[in-house]
Amino acid sequence: MNLQEYLDARSILVDRALDKLLPAGKAVPRTLDKSMRYSLFSGGKRVRPILALASGEAVGAPPSRVLPFACALEMIHSYSLVHDDLPAMDDDDLRRGKPTNHVVFGEGIAVLAGDGLLTEAFRVMAEAALRPGQDRTAALRAVQEVALGAGAGGMVGGQVADIEAENKKPTKALVEYIHSRKTAALLRASVRAGALVGGATARQFAQLDRYGTAIGLAFQVADDILDIEGGTAKTGKREGRDAELHKVTYPAAVGMAKAKARARELMTEALAAVQPLGERAEPLRQIVKFVVERAVQP
């Protein structure tokens, strides 16, 4: 299996579906439509939707079954970036080399575009859950997982903790509190939602959940490492941006060597978790290797 081909093929699926799933027409003011699409189609790597699809595939579900939930996860990720970039938060002018949403559309519209993406994500999931043949209970459990991962005890809570932690001493406990919420919770929810909608058994769900927990944490540790060592080419953002914002990071808390060891340990944990799922979990394996190895290798 070629990872890049897999990622490209899944990205195309997600992008096409997103275009169709967004509301359109006269009902939506043109500015709002443009603003939501501007951020949603700005070159994201579609990590969360691809994890959801790969998780469903690991238990034998075709991508089409999980696709609307995968798209909803990307809409939620996209909203979170629009709001994080606001002047009242991280105050970023550039994302992936393009002006951020509020720079182009103004702060008011950016707040509302984020609100729109978040709300529409739940509409998309509810409508997918209502499709004929869809197991409603499994779909509702997926909606619940996504809301938990994105909500006050998940991503939103992590973002609040992150803001409050600026200029605080970066202890390991504080960094882990933030990481487990700000980034890991939605990544983990992506894997869990894919497993549920994909029809995982209780045992398979537990295996995938262990994978999701590990990759969720690995992702943020790797991101922290790359922010210091990666350079703009690898990360698409300015090197040292976290330090500039006085963000608490894993390397700052435990040192670079221990941070890299932790990333490797989480990769091993993720690989072990999906070992029983066999060949169908190969995309999940390659994804976690890619995430960690690009950060820890010289």
- Chain residues that interact with a second copy, rule: CB under 8 A: 22-23, 27-29, 31-33, 36, 79-80, 83, 86, 88-89, 106-112, 114-116, 118-120, 122-123, 126-127, 129-130, 136-137, 139-141, 143-144, 147-148, 150-153, 156-157, 159-161, 163-164
Q: Which 8-state DSSP code applies to residue 169?
A: -
Phi and psi of 144, rounded to 5°?
-60, -45
The CB-of-163 to a second copy minimum distance in angstroms stands at: 5
- Which residue number, 31 or 232, has a Cβ lying nearer to a second copy? 31
Q: What one-letter code names the amino acid at 193?
A: A
**Looking at beta carbons only, is 56 or 116 nearer to a second copy?**
116
User: In the complex, what is the shortest distance from the CB of residue 52 to a second copy, in angstroms, rounded to a whole number?
Assistant: 17
Q: In this complex, which beta carbon is closest to a second copy, that of residue 83 or of residue 260?
A: 83
Mapping DSSP onto H, E and C, the string for 203-263 reads HHHHHHHHHHHHHHHHHHHHHHHHHHHCHHHHHCCCCCHHHHCCCCCHHHHHCHHHHHHHH
**CB 62 → a second copy: shortest distance, Å?**
22
Contact call for residues 124 and 143 (beta carbons, < 8 A): no
- 169, exposed or middle or buried, with CB in 10 Å at 0-12, 13-18, 19+? exposed
Nearest residue (CB) to a second copy, 93 versus 164: 164
The single-letter code of the amino acid at 210 is R
Q: How far apart are CB 123 and a second copy at their closest, in Å?
A: 3
